Amino acid sequence: MGSGFSDMIGIEAAGTELADALKVAEANATGELRNVMLTGINYVKSFTPNQFVLKKKMSNLPDNYQPPDPHSLPTGPLDTTTSSYGFSHTMIRIKDPHVSLDFYTRILGMTLVRVMSMPAGKFTNYFLCYPQSEVPDRDNHDQLMKWLWQQQGILELCHNWGTELPESDFQGYKSGNEPEHKGFGHICVFVDDLHKACGRFTTLGVRFKKRPEDGQMKHIAFILDPDGYWIEIIQNGSGDKETPKQ
């Protein structure tokens, strides 16, 4: 799921209609949501007693630009030797393992299955997942490693030692969604009930980037982990349809 929902928010009106639309948007959006609404829109706003004038420039693309035709793109493996390949894991860097491991285990329900410390490099990697089978005895290294590397969707958290200390003056990592550092987007977790999950996240004090009711895509939410990485939340089996509250 792409995270470009903020780019879908646009105002096509002018004059009084634009003034009213902009005032309503600003009145109903604060903090993170207001920033999201304005992401990707470079604007100049000039005020007169009766109206705002918005000059929107989404990008410097040519007017006749068309994205690649999906039918012209590669869609599947051509080499049968890749039939046994699978997606193992992704790695993100974290500032404080105490805070991040609490978030991913207590809030998102993942299981910490391996801790790999590297004193020579002064970092530790933590491997978490939603186990697809029973986790072997962690004291049996060979058995655990064989099982671990058969799992899919593992999250590896890399902690460079000392970043959590106040005296380190570490400012934190980039999430990949900042306008000047766009690259990595998000990970995604599915839940049984989107609205119940978001209610629980709210109770637990989780930060939201987008709630289901925000914007045009009502079937997804985005929360933030302790380091500011985006996590998309979707409802299991719902596809791209809006998920009504139960």
Catalytic residues: 232
Q: Do 211 and 199 form a contact (C-beta atoms < 8 A)?
A: no
Q: Is 242 assigned a ligand-binding role in the annotation?
A: no
Q: Is 156 assigned a ligand-binding role in the annotation?
A: yes
Helices in the chain by DSSP H: which ranges? Answer: 15-28, 31-38, 97-102, 141-148, 194-203
Q: Do 77 and 84 form a contact (C-beta atoms < 8 A)?
A: no
Q: Is 219 assigned a ligand-binding role in the annotation?
A: no
φ/ψ of residue 17, rounded to 5:
-60, -40
Of 236, 81, 86, which Cα lies nearest the Cα of 152? Answer: 86
Of 35, 11, 30, which Cα lies nearest the Cα of 21? Answer: 11
Q: CA quadruple 184, 189, 193, 199: dihedral positive or negative?
A: negative
Binding residues for Zn(2+): 156, 186, 232
Binding residues: 156, 186, 232
